[in-house]
A and B are shown apart, each in its own frame.
Chain A
């Protein structure tokens, strides 16, 4: 169905979405690019002119830069690995016949409804607090010294909180995909004498490829911009500063717009690298 009429109607109807997103992307990005070449300290003298690549050099040579990249990659990578693996296992379990499947599913999905600020606060105070937190009680019960989670193990703690938030999503997508697997295929494999493990690796896993791709794609989008969890728990201390958070501090806390903007451009570049890599894979795996 494509007549000249419908094609021009289509262009007309697609335009608002494209224009809005293009504007949303380009206008602020251009401004960020502009600031990144200027010495701009709103509280200490304002715009003090052109400085070339100074901000870029300063941002990279700051001792926080590489650790922040590392932290970003660790958080995104660990959460992806944890949620995909646990998600597959959980999905396989939930796919089995059982009583009260619907209720279990609700229980498992629930963390997705919890806003990041709430989950961060609840985890930080009620679970990870070294004095009154549940974990502290648990550790003491076994005669161990409670861990100061957010200072001694800040990254694992963050990964744990964020994984808890995203595990439901991964599980649900993977469960939906498993349920769409043709049971005849599995039965045929069983007839062919494939053992449980090889059935998993040769039939179930390949069938899940598309779902896993989607989990990775969508989660990466959201994980790259993890903010509230860090803001509320460590405030970026104890090595939990992601690139985003570092920029946030430069812009808001030290009010160095030029420096922060240069960092912003680095973040855009990093996001683009990841986006291009993802889109390659996704474009192949996803017959949009």
Chain B
């Protein structure tokens, strides 16, 4: 738009947007601030914002009480593992649907997405039984598989929409140039789709990281990720705001940091590849 924007307009926009942005961000900011307070300051009335004696003791108490490292490690294993497994299954499937479409392609895609609507709670007990049978209960492997399955439709859908943007010509050129199907996918399609794959991976890691039904119901001591770590603070420790805040900050920090470092891909990913 080649139009002069008055700086007054721009100022108003800026003030309004920042105000709303900060309002939306406030709960997170408040949590982070509170994590550095003592319990007494945390519940002070009127609330204290910035001017208090900053302390790290909450973090060490939380760490002492529950081994944060192990939960974190489980979260990383499950999120990254389910994403890699998902990609291995989804890339070929998305290739098929994007480049060799048939009359049923759209139905298959919608069907896949609709499996995500099945209420997890409806199959909780059968899965529970199967997991006991297979010895997967409270195991990182079991959770990885489940999270891969529940996010698979999203991964396929996203990759499909990114692959659709790649001109078929280029894949055909590769075929004419003597590339086998494997080489075509490995050397031509995948490198071209890197931004899309990166977005898919980021979104999927977030979804897996934050998944809080299966992770709460299929784990106990061994495989529990950060969602379970934090759920253990629901009561009565929830009343200790500073410790709750420290634990919360520890649970969300990895994803927040990852998100901020990869903003561009993430924004693309957050639109589920559906809007350009």
Assess A/B contact in the complex (Cβ within 8 A). Answer: yes
A169, B270: Cβ atoms closer than 8 Å: yes
Query: Which of B20, B34, B121, B216 has the most A CB atoms < 10 Å from its CB?
Result: B121
A251, B121: Cβ atoms closer than 8 Å: yes
Q: How far is the CA of A93 from the CA of B23 in the complex (A)?
A: 15
Pick the residue among A107, A140, A183, A217 that contacts B45 (CB under 8 A).
A140
Question: Which segment, of B55-63, B92-100, B190-198, faces chain A?
Answer: B92-100
Q: How far is the CA of A222 from the CA of B149 in the complex (A)?
A: 15
Cβ-based interface call for B50 (8 A): no
B92, A112: Cβ atoms closer than 8 Å: no
Cβ-based interface call for A265 (8 A): yes
Q: How far is the CA of A93 from the CA of B153 in the complex (A)?
A: 33
B20, A93: Cβ atoms closer than 8 Å: yes
Cβ-based interface call for A71 (8 A): no
CB-defined contacts of A142 to chain B, threshold 8 Å: none
Cβ-based interface call for A201 (8 A): no
- Say whether chain B's binding surface is mostly helix, strand, loop, or mixed: helix
A218, B272: Cβ atoms closer than 8 Å: yes
- Within A228-251, the residues touching B (CB, 8 Å) are 228, 231-232, 243-245, 247-248, 251
Query: Which of A14, A176, A214, A272 has the most B CB atoms < 10 Å from its CB?
Result: A14
Closest to A221 in B: B116
The smallest C-beta distance from A270 to any residue of chain B, in angstroms, reads: 8
- Within A267-287, the residues touching B (CB, 8 Å) are 267-268, 270-272, 274-275, 279, 282-283, 286
What is the interface size of chain A, counting residues whose CB is below 8 A from a CB of the partner?
A: 110
Cβ-based interface call for B222 (8 A): no
B230, A121: Cβ atoms closer than 8 Å: yes
Pick the residue among B22, B96, B123, B125 that contacts A13 (CB under 8 A).
B96
Pick the residue among B20, B28, B46, B119 that contacts A110 (CB under 8 A).
B28
A21, B274: Cβ atoms closer than 8 Å: no
A108, B24: Cβ atoms closer than 8 Å: yes
Closest to A7 in B: B100
Cβ-based interface call for B36 (8 A): no
B117, A221: Cβ atoms closer than 8 Å: yes
A90, B20: Cβ atoms closer than 8 Å: yes
A108, B5: Cβ atoms closer than 8 Å: no
A10, B96: Cβ atoms closer than 8 Å: yes
Known: A31-B126, A98-B14. A180 touches B275 (CB 8 A): yes
Cβ-based interface call for B245 (8 A): yes
- Within A256-273, the residues touching B (CB, 8 Å) are 257, 260-261, 263-265, 267-268, 270-272
- Within B205-241, the residues touching A (CB, 8 Å) are 206, 209-210, 212-213, 216-217, 226-227, 230-231, 233-234, 238-239, 241
CB-defined contacts of A244 to chain B, threshold 8 Å: 119-121
What is the interface size of chain B, counting residues whose CB is below 8 A from a CB of the partner?
A: 99
Q: How far is the CA of A1 from the CA of B27 in the complex (A)?
A: 52
B108, A112: Cβ atoms closer than 8 Å: no
Closest to A274 in B: B117
Cβ-based interface call for A65 (8 A): no
Query: Which of A9, A29, A121, A183 has the most B CB atoms < 10 Å from its CB?
Result: A121
- Within B1-39, the residues touching A (CB, 8 Å) are 1, 5, 9-10, 13-14, 16-18, 20-22, 24-25, 27-28, 30-31, 34
The smallest C-beta distance from B59 to any residue of chain A, in angstroms, reads: 15
Cβ-based interface call for A149 (8 A): no
Closest to A138 in B: B47
Question: Which segment, of A55-63, A124-132, A192-200, faces chain B?
Answer: A124-132
Cβ-based interface call for B80 (8 A): no
The smallest C-beta distance from B6 to any residue of chain A, in angstroms, reads: 10
The smallest C-beta distance from B84 to any residue of chain A, in angstroms, reads: 14
Per-position binary interface string of chain A over residues 1-31, scored 1 when its CB falls under 8 Å from any chain B CB and 0 otherwise: 1100011011101101110110011011101
Extra A-B contacts (7), CB below 8 Å, given A109-B267, A227-B121, A264-B124: A17-B156, A24-B149, A108-B25, A126-B31, A211-B274, A231-B231, A268-B122
Task: Supply 16 A–B pairs (Cβ within 8 Å), ascending by A.
Answer: A13-B95, A25-B115, A31-B130, A94-B17, A96-B13, A104-B18, A109-B270, A111-B27, A176-B276, A221-B116, A221-B117, A251-B121, A252-B217, A264-B124, A271-B118, A283-B106
Closest 8 CB pairs of A and B: A264-B122, A13-B92, A228-B212, A28-B123, A31-B126, A10-B100, A107-B21, A17-B93
